[in-house]
């Protein structure tokens, strides 16, 4: 296979210690993941899935071991490289959408591009393009609370794609959606991986995981199985 986009080497993380009891949340995670993979991360609540995603996404730097992005250790990133990693390499999608309630959809998406060099007009133009792509052309001037759950998640997908990142991290993106809406959102996320990005998706559902090209099972902070499935059709 090609060079991994991201490699994890013996990632460990604990909470507590000292006076409070120590909880080992990640217990030696080794992993190589590649562009174009659609990876499901499955495991019981509390098994460490979100912690692992936040660590990979650079939201949490308090861990042991190494994360390599395109072969470079995140710890060796300059401050500027780390900002770029957050804003341009990784796009996040969350279960509860994390939209900004007082902004309309265009601003909710274009705000993700504030660190890009593009001017306001270009950013708004790209936001409109992305919202159209996710099927929200006629809703762009609405606020999030005027949308259904599925529509909110479409906005979040548009926002995650705003800077054309190489990696999408989706933490239970369908967790708050009904079955029909889950299928629609899942197909959209799958298409993102089929377009060549690396997609990591946390899910509770084996049915959801069955749509992915690879399934990692996590139990108590360790990868207990790593299954290749059918590659994505492009």
Question: Which among Mg ion, ligand ADP, none contacts residue 13 (Cβ within 5 to 8 A by kind)?
Answer: none
Nearer to Mg ion, 60 or 191 (CB): 60
Q: How far is the CB of 170 from Mg ion (least distance, A)?
A: 12
Binding of residue 203 to Mg ion (CB under 5 A): no
Residue 166 DSSP symbol: S
Token pair for 88: 């341009």
Nearer to ligand ADP, 24 or 183 (CB): 24
Q: How far is the CB of 30 from ligand ADP (least distance, A)?
A: 18
Q: In 70-185, which ranges are E strands?
A: 72-73, 90-94, 167-171
Question: Which among ligand ADP, Mg ion, none contacts residue 198 (Cβ within 5 to 8 A by kind)?
Answer: none
Q: Are the C-beta atoms of 95 and 153 separated by less than 8 Å?
A: no
Q: How far is the CB of 19 from ligand ADP (least distance, A)?
A: 14
Question: Which among ligand ADP, Mg ion, none contacts residue 217 (Cβ within 5 to 8 A by kind)?
Answer: none
Element (H, E) at 38: strand 38-42
Spatial separation of the C-alpha atoms in residues 176 and 119, rounded to whole Å: 35
Token pair for 84: 């770029």
Question: Which among ligand ADP, Mg ion, none contacts residue 23 (Cβ within 5 to 8 A by kind)?
Answer: ligand ADP
Q: How far is the CB of 150 from Mg ion (least distance, A)?
A: 21
Q: Is the dihedral of CA 18, 21, 22, 23 positive or negative?
A: negative
Question: Which among Mg ion, ligand ADP, none contacts residue 25 (Cβ within 5 to 8 A by kind)?
Answer: ligand ADP
Element (H, E) at 168: strand 167-171
Q: Which of residues 35-54 bind Mg ion (CB under 5 A)?
A: 49-50
Q: Are the C-beta atoms of 174 and 206 separated by less than 8 Å?
A: no
Beta strands across the sheet bearing 214-219: 90-94, 167-171, 198-203, 38-42, 214-219, 222-228
Nearer to ligand ADP, 123 or 214 (CB): 214
Per CB under 6 A, residues contacting ligand ADP are 15, 23, 25, 43, 45-51
Q: Which residues pair with 90 in a beta bridge?
A: 167
Q: How far is the CB of 112 from ligand ADP (least distance, A)?
A: 23
Nearer to Mg ion, 43 or 58 (CB): 43
Q: How far is the CB of 172 from ligand ADP (least distance, A)?
A: 8
Q: Which residues pair with 171 in a beta bridge?
A: 94, 202
Coil vs helix vs strand at 123 = helix
Residue numbers of the site for Mg ion (CB under 5 A)?
49-50
């Amino acid at each position: 296979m090609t060079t991994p986009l991201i490699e994890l080497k013996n990632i460990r993380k604990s909470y507590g210690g000292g006076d409070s009891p120590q909880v080992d949340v990640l217990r030696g995670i080794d992993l190589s993941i590649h562009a174009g993979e659609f990876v499901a991360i499955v495991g019981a609540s509390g098994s460490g899935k979100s912690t692992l995603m936040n660590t990979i996404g650079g939201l949490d730097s308090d861990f042991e071991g190494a994360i390599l992005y395109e072969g470079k250790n995140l710890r060796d990133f300059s401050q500027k490289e780390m900002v770029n990693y957050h804003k341009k390499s990784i796009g996040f999608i969350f279960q509860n959408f994390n939209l900004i309630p007082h902004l309309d959809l265009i601003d909710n998406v274009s705000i993700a591009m504030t660190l890009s060099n593009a001017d306001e007009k270009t950013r708004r133009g790209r936001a409109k393009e992305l919202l159209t792509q996710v099927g929200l052309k006629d809703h762009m001037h609405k606020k999030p609370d005027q949308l259904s759950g599925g529509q909110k998640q479409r906005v979040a997908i548009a926002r995650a794609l705003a800077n054309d990142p190489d990696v999408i991290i989706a933490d239970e993106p369908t967790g708050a959606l009904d079955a029909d809406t889950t299928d629609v959102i899942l197909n959209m996320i799958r298409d993102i991986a089929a377009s060549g990005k690396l997609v990591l998706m946390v899910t509770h559902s084996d049915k959801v995981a069955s749509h992915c090209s690879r399934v990692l099972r996590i139990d108590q902070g360790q990868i207990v199985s790593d299954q290749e499935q059918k590659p994505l059709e492009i």
